[in-house]
Amino acid sequence: MTSVRLRAQDLELRYADRVVSTRLSLDVPDGAFTAIVGANACGKSTLLRALVRLLRPAEGSVLLDERDVGSYAAKALARSLGFLPQDPLAPEDIRVRQLIGRGRFPHQPMLSLWSAEDESAVSEAMTTAGVDGLADRPVNELSGGQRQRVWVAMVLAQRTPYLLLDEPTSFLDIAHQYRLLALLSRLRDEGRTVVAVLHDINQACRFADHLIAMKDGRVVAEGAAADVVDAALIKDVFDLPAVVVPDPVTGTPMVVPTLDGRTGPSG
C-alpha cells in the first residue's frame, strides 16, 4: 500500500459562474508517477491548478500532510509543490541560467542572497534536464524542445518533493516527448512524486504508475493502467472506438483507434 500525502476532498471547482467540477476527490500516491488523462476541456488542468492552490476550490479542500494547502505560507508551499503550467512566460531578455535560478525563490530570504546551495541546486537541475550547454543563451531564442527542458530545470531547481506538470509534452516532437517522460520517470525513481496531465494515452499507460481518467470534471477511473484501461473506458472518456492491445515494448495497454478514415465511425 502506497502512502498518500497529497489529496483532494470533495472539491467544487469553478471559474466565476462556470462550474468545472463538483464533488471531486482523489489521492495522489506518494513516490509514484501519476498521469491525468481525459478529453479536451474535461477539467484536468483545472484540477492541477487546484492542487497547487492557483485556484481556490469553492467547496472542499486540497490537503498536503493533512493540512489545507490554503493554510500554508506561499513560500512554504512552494518548497513542497513544484508546478509547471502549460505555457509559462519568460521575461524579456532573460538567460537560461537566470531563469532556472528563479526556481530558487521560495528558498531565499526577502533580500535574495544567492547561497552556495542555490548555486548547486541550479547546476544540478541543469545537468538533470540536459541544458548545461545553454546557460548563457537568451531563453526566447531557444527551440521549443530546449525551452521546455529549461522550464523543467527551473522547477527542478526548486527542489520540491512534488512535481506537477500541465501537458509538459505539448509543443515537443516525438523524440523530445519520450525523453522528457523518461526524465520524469527517473525523477520518480529518485523518490519524487510526479503528477502530469498528458494528452497521449499510450504514453500515459507506458510511463505512469497511476492513471486518473477524467470526464466532465469527474474522475471516471483510477489505478494502474493495466487495471483500468480497456476499450470501454476509451469509448467513455474520449468517445473513440478503439481496441486495446499490449504495447509490444513494455506490455502496458496500448490504445489503437479503429477509425481509419475509410470505414467512418463504427459502433
Partner 1 sequence: MVRAGGWLVRVERRTLVLSAALAALMLGAGLLGLCYGASWATPGEVLAALGGQGESVVVIRDWRLPRVLAGMVFGLALGVAGAIFQNLTRNPMGSPDVIGLDAGAYTGALVALTVFSGGSVVLATSSVVGGLAVAAMIYLLSSGGGLSGLRLVVIGIAVSAIVTAFNSWIVLRAELEVAIAAVGWSAGSLNGVDWADLPVPFTIIAVLLALMAAWSHTMHQAALGEAVASATGVGLHRLRLLMVLVGVGCTATVTSVAGPIAFIALAAPQIGRRLAGAAGVPLLPAALTGAVLLQGADLAAQMLLAPESLPVGVVTTAIGGCYLIWLLAKEVRRA
Contacting positions for partner 1 (CB under 8 A): 49, 52-54, 73-79, 81-85, 88-95, 97-99, 101-103, 105-106, 108, 110-112, 114, 119-120, 122-123, 135-136, 154, 158
Q: Which is nearer to partner 1, 8 or 154 (CB)?
A: 154
Q: Kindly state the smallest distance separating residue 149's Cβ from partner 1, in Å.
A: 16
Nearer to partner 1, 149 or 206 (CB): 149
Name the minimum Å distance from CB 120 to partner 1: 8
Minimum Å gap between C-beta 205 and partner 1 is: 28
Residue written as grid cell 525563490: 105
Nearest residue (CB) to partner 1, 32 versus 135: 135
Nearer to partner 1, 31 or 138 (CB): 138
Burial, 263: exposed, middle or buried (Cβ in 10 Å; 0-12, 13-18, 19+)?
exposed
Residue that is written with C-alpha cell 502496458 in the block: 252
Measured in whole angstroms, the distance separating CA 23 from the mean position of its chain's CA atoms is: 22
Phi, psi of 79 (to 5 degrees): -85, -10
Q: How far apart are CA 3 and CA 163, in angstroms?
A: 17
Give the nearer residue to partner 1 in terms of CB position, either 90 or 211. 90
Residue 196: what are its φ and ψ, rounded to 5°?
Answer: -135, 135
To the nearest whole angstrom, how small is the minimum distance from the Cβ of residue 207 to partner 1? 23
Q: What is the DSSP string of 107-139?
A: GS-TT-PPPHHHHHHHHHHHHHHT-GGGTTSBG
Q: How far is the CB of 195 from partner 1 (least distance, A)?
A: 13
